[in-house]
Structure 1
């Protein structure tokens, strides 16, 4: 294995340089030769978490490994631009879940833009453009008249009109990255700009257009992490849910009232806090989940049931490690990660307001 670059991955109370190397090597050890990054060896791969782990590899300077991950996606993309929700671990990559979830499909745009900003590789962007374009067209094809995007298309082709706030917030982020790619290539996409604007308005102004998943912490912070809420609105939303979801010294609950904190949600909240200028609180959150670190592998347990004092499930997942590395990279000033998750330079699309 190569020696990862750790200058942006060292954070007091979170990662030393040696620990950062171990965590990156833990993800690399799980990656298959064909580029696939399953949750862990023997478990399935889903496209969203695969991309998150690939972005973490880019943040560590492991660009060849990250590029293999994106090549895997290009090879396995369906004719309609989608990917299935889950694939078995193994050379055959058999389909395990045949649903095609819109936020899973859209996220390739975030990863491709992050890789380009990390490497400056124009040839990679050219190769990836057809993949990104087809994925975005699949996703906006499920957009509803109110701007929200149905969360999946079933295996028989039936679209699901129900929309999820977390998923749509992630799609919002992905559409901004897709438009950045289009701008870089000088290929205007006015339909994407309109889709982005109407989606943002739905997220900001119409909670009734989404299924009620308010018990889940992701529905709390994802409108901020996905860039739909910024400034004072973002700060107010974070304050509103803080006491419900944050367990001091342990991390972030996945769902209330369950006594279960999870590493992925905690690291993502830290990213959202950093994006709103709350770097000190972001650091505290990342420090609070170091009890989930496995010193042998450098990876992180998915979660911890604090009423029972038990790690659960007994899974060391690449995406949990990936989310932590990305949060650390943002706080450490890694330029590509800052640009992608800070969002200041990402396109905003067309402003729309159905309420005007």
Structure 2
């Protein structure tokens, strides 16, 4: 299969042509270290969540060997308790930059592992990574609170659990638990405790906003319950509509924070995925087309744009922003693995207290 054939689903009129897709894929690949690590950009740190997001984009572009190398980095450097540190300087595992262990960061590799399996059909890979997924999920669920929400992190010094929960982070954990359970089902590994934990978490996200820290100024708290699969159907549509005018700047993208004149590429691309998952493909494509203004000459994407000042800020082009854009393209363009992971079809829903 030629390079253009591997990425033809990423070519969408008014968004990217084949040459532009190839340039963006090459840009992410250029950030990846020889050991598989994918920092934000060379010289900056790596965190497990954004590393995984970039790896998923490589898989969506047919760069399966590079994606597998990224997951192997996670396998080699997982800590004994199933976690990873929150940041590593330039992706160097010997140089942790933040020894906190965040539940959202530790859960997300399960999404990437399941995505890689769906993209490649490589069951040997899935079996090799199963202990990694199992260890990470068990670490995360040790921080789940009685109300179903997931505590934010373990502190680096004494391992103290920060029991406060973030809606965005818990919604991402919800997505990861569904993918982890899909992997468990494929391998014949029964995980009834995970099913119960997933159901309790989804119930908390849908029914109990008071169990999460108040962060509704941030657009991620708006769309992540939809993106993470906890809120679906008419409720998802209603949630998107309720805050659309507050966060969306037509022609530019999505504000990171509702009261700041700053749109960001990562949040905009994730909103595309949430819109697509909610069945609103037309608006998903429209938002994707807006993001051309954040594209740099090298094919990567600027983190954000302050529209009141007509200024790019910060002056950085991250692997995960480009990665989120490619994943949004893959979903809208009909790539099966990405569609299955973000669309949620076939992913377990857990033992849902809402139904009883």
Length-normalised TM-score, structure 2:
0.98
- Structure 2 unaligned residues grouped into runs of 5+: none
| Number of the residue aligned with 1:137 | 138
| Number of the residue aligned with 2:116 | 115
Rounded Cα–Cα distance in structure 1 between residues aligned with 2:340 and 2:290: 26
Alignment of 1:59-78 (within 5 A): 59-78=60-79
| Number of the residue aligned with 2:242 | 240
The alpha-carbon deviation at position 256 of structure 1 amounts to 1.5
Pick from 256, 259, 265: which aligns with 2:258? 256
Alignment of 1:46-57 (within 5 A): 46-57=47-58
| Number of the residue aligned with 1:230 | 232
- SS across alignment from 1:261: strand
Rounded Cα–Cα distance in structure 2 between residues aligned with 1:92 and 1:225: 30
| Number of the residue aligned with 1:280 | 282
Rounded Cα–Cα distance in structure 2 between residues aligned with 1:176 and 1:17: 33
| Number of the residue aligned with 1:81 | 82
Alignment of 1:182-197 (within 5 A): 182-197=184-199
- SS across alignment from 2:286: helix
Rounded Cα–Cα distance in structure 1 between residues aligned with 2:325 and 2:337: 16
Rounded Cα–Cα distance in structure 1 between residues aligned with 2:7 and 2:139: 37
- Structure 2 vs 1, CA of residues 173 and 91 (structure 1 numbering), >3 Å: closer, same or farther? closer
Aligned pair 1:300/2:301, yes or no? yes
| Number of the residue aligned with 1:323 | 324
| Number of the residue aligned with 1:168 | 170
Aligned pair 1:14/2:31, yes or no? no
- SS across alignment from 1:152: strand
- Structure 2 vs 1, CA of residues 59 and 81 (structure 1 numbering), >3 Å: closer, same or farther? same
Q: Give yes or no for contact 2:77–2:93 (8 Å, CA) kept in 1.
A: no
Aligned pair 1:346/2:347, yes or no? yes
Q: Alpha-carbon deviations, 1:110-157, whole Å to 9, x = none? A: 000000000000110011000000000000000000000001011121
The alpha-carbon deviation at position 186 of structure 1 amounts to 0.5
- SS across alignment from 2:46: coil
The alpha-carbon deviation at position 93 of structure 1 amounts to 4.2
The alpha-carbon deviation at position 91 of structure 1 amounts to 4.5
- SS across alignment from 2:163: strand
| Number of the residue aligned with 1:147 | 148
- SS across alignment from 2:272: helix
Task: Count matched residues.
Answer: 353
Rounded Cα–Cα distance in structure 2 between residues aligned with 1:93 and 1:10: 39
- Structure 2 vs 1, CA of residues 227 and 119 (structure 1 numbering), >3 Å: closer, same or farther? same
Rounded Cα–Cα distance in structure 1 between residues aligned with 2:135 and 2:91: 26
Give the superposed CA RMSD.
1.2
- SS across alignment from 2:20: helix
Rounded Cα–Cα distance in structure 2 between residues aligned with 1:123 and 1:281: 39
Which stretch shows the higher mean deviation, 83-92 or 159-168? 83-92
The alpha-carbon deviation at position 92 of structure 1 amounts to 5.2
Aligned pair 1:289/2:288, yes or no? no
Rounded Cα–Cα distance in structure 2 between residues aligned with 1:236 and 1:90: 40
Length-normalised TM-score, structure 1:
0.98
Rounded Cα–Cα distance in structure 1 between residues aligned with 2:50 and 2:226: 19
Rounded Cα–Cα distance in structure 1 between residues aligned with 2:82 and 2:53: 19
